[in-house]
């Protein structure tokens, strides 16, 4: 059944308000103290409005993050959920990682992402759900790009792409998560160069 | 002033009991709900005993982790806080990373480490303190080993060792922290091979 345009617009507006409320609340008070009631109050809707669409706070947050990622990518003029394939693997990886640095430094993203990552460390079920639905699909885009590079002879055939991507993705993740170092475009460019060419002399 | 042997033994015993209590408590209830009072109760000492040696719960935990790391390394027959230098860089890195995998999978280490890492994600001051006192000194051992490899011509001279080490350390950290994949000796061996030789054909 096609909804009337007015109802759909209202519904879209509520949905966006709920996403924003969920992200700001989890950033402010952390995951354990975030409740569906709290999200509803901050969004100015009844809690039944939330339960109509999502079974739990974890589900609201998952969708809110997916939506935020799409919005940030759109504003940056990127195709979300794609890694470019220009034939130049180093350039393509550097472009995506530079955009990721910008997203990680975006204040809208920072607090809620940290709150959720922190909870994922100690709450194994939530951690695994968010990895499966949010993180792993992004990592699979690198797997595809590296496979394409293997076909083009730019990556050694015996390399496992799922492990290989971690050489440039995980250092950025750890610096951002654990404050072990600054993150910048120069830094991620360097990671790509080291990973592709290796530390040993050629 | 030299303490009497009896007093020192008693003091060592209390200290160990306090470390064990601090680690098990933070693993059970998380960092925010861990208190000096709670540690004292679990260790069977008065809270003044704890305050005599440490100004805060963060300081107790920091020392408890340093002590745990030393105990685990000792039991494994390793020289703590050293990376071997046999002249074979790949073999030396693989040996240390295999030992790190074993430590990360040690049940005594798992829950308290996760609790503390989770708190470090959202509590920037604590995160930075633990990185500076606990994590960074360990990473500097890799810096030294890579510098020695540069002098021996086994790592390119223009490589920054502080970034280079992240190619094999950070993937292991992310898999363990975020449950993004299994960790094993085969996995860390592969990371070392990819990092040293690069993903691109030679």
The domains of chain A, with CATH numbers, are 1-57 (1.10.10.60), 81-197 (1.10.357.10)
Q: Residues A17-35: what's their mean pLDDT?
A: 92
Q: Is the model more confident about A77 or about A191?
A: A191
| A186 touches B: beta carbon within 8 Å | no
List all residues 6 or more positions away from B120 whose beta carbon is below 8 Å from its beta carbon: A178, A179, B126, B127, B130, B131
Say what percent of chain A tops pLDDT 90.
57
Residue A176 pLDDT level (bands cut at 50, 70, 90): very high
Cβ atoms of A177 and A113 within 8 Å: the answer is no
Q: In chain B, where does DSSP find H-type helix?
A: 5-29, 36-43, 47-53, 57-75, 89-104, 107-122, 124-130, 136-151, 161-164, 166-178, 185-197
Say what percent of chain B tops pLDDT 90.
57
Answer yes or no: is pLDDT of A60 > 60: yes
CB contact under 8 A, A167 and B195: yes
Interface test with A, best of B33, B34, B198, B201 (most A CBs within 10 A): B198
Q: Is B173 exposed, middle or buried (0-12, 13-18, 19+ CB in 10 A)?
A: buried
Q: Looking at the partner chain, which of B121, B153, B166 has a beta carbon nearest the beta carbon of A171?
A: B166
Answer yes or no: is pLDDT of A2 > 70: no
Residues 79-138 of B with CB under 8 A from A: 114-115, 117-122, 124, 127-128, 131, 135-136
Say what percent of chain A tops pLDDT 70.
93
CB contact under 8 A, A191 and B120: no
Distance from CA of A112 to the nearest CA of B (A): 10
Q: Looking at the partner chain, which of A117, A171, A200 has a beta carbon nearest the beta carbon of B121?
A: A117
ipTM score above 0.95: no
Q: Residues A31-57: what's their mean pLDDT?
A: 93
Rounded to the nearest integer, the mean pLDDT of chain B is 90
Residue A23 pLDDT level (bands cut at 50, 70, 90): very high
CB contact under 8 A, B179 and A146: no
CA distance B149 to B165: 12
Residue B108 pLDDT level (bands cut at 50, 70, 90): confident
For B89-106, letters b (16+ CB in 10 Å) and e give: bbebbbbbbbbbbebbee
CB contact under 8 A, A199 and B146: yes
| B61 touches A: beta carbon within 8 Å | no
Q: Is the model more confident about A1 or about B171?
A: B171
Answer yes or no: is pLDDT of B31 > 90: no
Distance from CA of A155 to the nearest CA of B (A): 4
Interface test with A, best of B166, B184, B192, B201 (most A CBs within 10 A): B166
CB contact under 8 A, A178 and B136: no
Question: Which residues in chain A are closer than 8 Å to B125, comparing Cβ atoms?
Answer: none
Answer yes or no: is pLDDT of A76 > 90: no
């Amino acid at each position: 059944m096609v909804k009337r345009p007015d109802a759909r617009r209202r519904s879209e507006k509520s949905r966006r308000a709920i996403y924003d409320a969920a992200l700001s609340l989890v950033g402010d008070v952390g995951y354990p103290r975030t409740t569906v009631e709290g999200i509803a109050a901050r969004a100015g809707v009844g809690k039944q409005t939330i339960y109509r669409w999502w079974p739990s706070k974890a589900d609201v947050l998952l969708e809110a993050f997916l939506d935020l990622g799409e919005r940030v990518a759109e504003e940056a003029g990127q195709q979300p959920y794609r890694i470019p394939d220009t034939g130049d693997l180093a350039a393509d990886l550097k472009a995506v990682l530079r955009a990721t640095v910008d997203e990680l430094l975006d204040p809208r993203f920072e607090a809620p992402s940290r709150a959720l990552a922190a909870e994922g460390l100690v709450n194994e079920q939530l951690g695994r759900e968010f990895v499966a639905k949010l993180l792993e699909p992004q990592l699979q885009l690198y797997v595809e790009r590296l496979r394409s590079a293997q076909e083009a002879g730019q990556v050694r055939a015996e390399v496992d792409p799922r492990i290989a991507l971690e050489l440039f993705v995980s250092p950025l993740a750890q610096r951002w998560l654990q404050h072990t170092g600054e993150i910048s475009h120069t830094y991620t460019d360097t990671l790509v160069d080291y990973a592709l060419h290796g530390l040993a002399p050629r």
